[in-house]
Amino acid sequence: MKPKPDRPAATRLGRAVRATSKRAATATAPPDEHHRGTNWLRDVILGGQDGLVNILGIILGVIAGGGSDKVLIVAGFAAAITESISMAAVGYTSSKSERDFYQAEKNQEAVEIAATPEAERQEIADIYAAKGFKGKLLEDVVDTITSNRDVWVDTMMDEELHLQRVQTPDILRAAVVIGIATLIGHLIPLLPFLVLPRTDALVVAIVASALVLFGVGVYSAVTLVGDWRAAGLKMVAIGLGAAAIGFLVGRLFNAAG
């Protein structure tokens, strides 16, 4: 039996053309699940750590400054609400600025392609030559990409500038996730003071905060990269160290008053 001839899609050129065609079909699609998962983790850590460290610093500062339990709770919940809204707004404006930056760079790339197509075509050739394409194969890949202006622009955005499109739903998601994570981070050290005496509540708040920070560091290392023990301890050191500054500030103001 004669071996079946290779299908075009199984050749190196076929795979290159298929990959290019796939890029064209998904040019407007959102980032893949891996990138979205990374953003979720980033947003949770950003909001949760900020909220937890912020409120723990306020609690330690109020206690060191001689404030009453009522002052501590009122200040804590006021900070939880305002900081959560503020962080949600920061997440929204930050993600929106990323989207606007991407669009501005994309518009600039389109202008450059229209003004100097040969130079931009050579950039595509240089990019794929660096990946190992050469000769007729390189020419065919460059011809395929530059035959479609949208694919050409998107390829330059991805391969030259290494920028990823930010979708509007992702902007809203970032704001909601960061805001909720910040609120939860505030409540973890604050809730013990609603049901326990001050000393017991302070111990529970510090221990709970340390455990949460350690867990976040471990999860980050396991999900991404790094040693889970080092990542957990590093997160605890950063969080509790920052909160300790609030205690020192409270002591200074108490001593000065």
In the numeric block, the tokens 């020192």 are attached to 248
Q: Does the pLDDT at position 179 exceed 80?
A: yes
249, pLDDT greater than 90: no
74 residue type, one letter: V
How confident is residue 166, by pLDDT bands cut at 50, 70 and 90? confident
Residue 29 φ/ψ, nearest 5 degrees = -80, 155
What is the average pLDDT across 241-247?
82
> What is the average pLDDT value for the chain, to the nearest integer?
82
Residue pair 178/90 in contact by the 8 Å Cβ criterion:
yes
Q: Are 239 and 229 in contact (CB under 8 A)?
A: no
- Average pLDDT (55-63) is 88
pLDDT digits (tens, 9 = 90+) for 13-42: 444 434 444 444 443 444 444 444 446 777
The pair of three-digit structure tokens given for residue 67, joined into one six-digit string? 């404030």
- Contact indicator for 187, 81 with CB cutoff of 8 Å: no
pLDDT of residue 7: 40
Q: How far apart are CA 246 and CA 140, in angstroms?
A: 63
Cα distance between residue 110 and residue 100, in whole Å: 15
What is the residue whose two structure tokens read 């595509």? Answer: 124
* Residue-wise pLDDT tens digits, 98-137: 999 999 999 999 999 999 999 999 999 999 999 999 899 9
Q: Domain ranges in the chain?
A: 41-256
- Could you give the CA distance from residue 179 to residue 215 in angstroms, rounded to a whole number? 20
Kindly list the distances between the CA atom of residue 75 and the CA atoms of 66, 82, 201, in Å, as whole numbers in the listed order: 13, 11, 16
Q: Please write down the HEC assignment for all residues of 215-250.
A: HHHHHHHHHCCCCHHHHHHHHHHHHHHHHHHHHHHH
Between 197 and 165, the more confident residue is 197
pTM of the model: 0.70
Q: Percentage of the chain surpassing pLDDT 70?
A: 84
Number of residues that this document lists for the chain? 257
Q: Residue 77 to residues 103, 187, 191: CA-CA distances in angstroms? A: 39, 8, 10
